[in-house]
Structure 1
């Protein structure tokens, strides 16, 4: 292959990677929006209509009669969690960060407050009631809440100090944590699709469930740290081709899982509510 041909193919793969990355980002946001609407329609509206037993949909045990503080904590967790799913991806849009700085800052403040409330509400529920999965799940989700709160504080602190590069690194950490509840369900969906639920039990105490108490957020943070601290750049055509293929497969799988969740889980839960 001549240098001219190499440059042409290199440019083509750059274009493919950019388009696939944009498509994947839009799909992540769209899927997260669907999940946030599910939260609002199933849980938040159930509170205002007085049908609190709807909070215990499926294996969930979120509503416990006689424990108003724990119930309030998880309610705040639901509401604020829906907000961060809706707003988080906006902060990643380069045009918003560079051209509409006022909007970026306004959305950022709301996002950070909602992230803190999500973390505090979840931690409060764990301390007062505990999760369905027992001690391992309690520890995993408690750590998740602590990390989210810490990332939100660090993101704000570095923005105030105008340490922009450090601020953006913490904002990425916070984003991966903030979409954790969505990732948790997506990863369960992949597992059940390919293994039929191997190692998972209805009370979420199986070996797979215990691994998932940490897996939905820790590997993502580790990979991000590697990317942030590495000077590696994908320069070869072969590497770009493999990255394009991996991103294409991830996009197709995410699209499939989103459709399955909308049809099999999120949609029926909402429609079931409407028929009551």
Structure 2
């Protein structure tokens, strides 16, 4: 009787004593879930930080395109391009070259349309709440990027008689990427493969905005270089590399983001978040240097780098 009572008492005590191994497993699982949640949030908010920065920069660029190129075209004052851009050895307006001037104007204004409309395509709320607008804006965007690529080919291959240099080669590759990515974006939308459609649409967004990225990266290099006492100047090796880097680097970063979001470990997600944060800060520094330059171009004020 006593033995039975003791056995029952012992069993009761065992039930009351926590299983330390089980608790340890639960704690590890809880910590793992917490770390995973933190990594996911870090990746999400770093992407949001990048997007808001990009949206701001893109719309400022759109304002510049309309304020400078749009106004001069409307007022039939395209020779003003040379008065401003000639300071940098660029003379896009050529007297008597109607087709060339038209191609350049279309290319410049098209870049503004892409900057404004492309960012709207990436906003989830716009896609879900205004599907018809998303579809129509998508058609306008795709038509514009096609014209952007073709006009770029014309300006590089036909209008300019000089042999192709590194910038022209970079522009040519960029144009082919635009056409290829646009085709895949449309094809996947027709097939209702929305997940991959959005991936290729993002890739298209980057290559079609490469000229904006080129300019922001250029000013970021100049600003950060001066801050670090490096005395950066046009003609530095950076500019030759950035001719291709302005679309290669964003595409590689985007691919890393896809991997981190879908299959990456917490450490990969955190590393990707950190990279996005650093890139965004560099973008902001470039925009801080670029925006006053654009405003002076529009207003006719003194231009300096």
Normalised-by-shorter TM-score class? 0.7 to 0.9
Provide the aligned C-alpha RMSD in A: 2.9
Asked whether the equivalents of residues 39 and 270 of structure 2 are also in contact (C-alpha less than 8 Å), the reply is yes
CA distance in 2, matches of 1:209, 1:231: 32
Structure 2: gaps spanning 5 or more residues: 1-23
CA distance in 2, matches of 1:98, 1:31: 24
Count of matched residue positions in the alignment of Structure 1 and Structure 2: 268
1:200-220 CA-to-partner distances (Å, cap 9, x unmatched) read 33xxxx643332322211333
Asked whether the equivalents of residues 120 and 149 of structure 1 are also in contact (C-alpha less than 8 Å), the reply is no
Q: How does 1:35-114 map to 2 (within 5 A)?
A: 35-56=61-82, 57=85, 58-59=87-88, 60-114=90-144
Q: How does 1:13-32 map to 2 (within 5 A)?
A: 13-32=39-58
Is the alpha carbon distance of 1:155 and 1:245 closer, same or farther for their aligned partners in structure 2, counting shifts above 3 Å?
closer
Say which is worse superposed, 99-108 or 126-135, in terms of deviation. Answer: 126-135
Shift of 1:164: 2.8
Asked whether the equivalents of residues 198 and 208 of structure 1 are also in contact (C-alpha less than 8 Å), the reply is no
* 1:261 counterpart (290, 293, 297): 290
TM-score with structure 1 setting the length: 0.84
- Structure 1 residue 246 and structure 2 residue 271: aligned? no
2:153 equivalent in structure 1: 123
1:167 equivalent in structure 2: 197
Structure 1: gaps spanning 5 or more residues: none
Corresponding residue SS for 1:52: coil
- Structure 1 residue 200 and structure 2 residue 226: aligned? no
1:270 equivalent in structure 2: 298
CA distance in 2, matches of 1:215, 1:79: 23
Say which is worse superposed, 224-233 or 24-33, in terms of deviation. Answer: 224-233
1:76-126 CA-to-partner distances (Å, cap 9, x unmatched) read 111111111101122112233334321211111111011111111221111
Shift of 1:9: 4.5
Shift of 1:240: 4.1
- Structure 1 residue 148 and structure 2 residue 178: aligned? yes
CA distance in 2, matches of 1:218, 1:232: 21
TM-score with structure 2 setting the length: 0.76
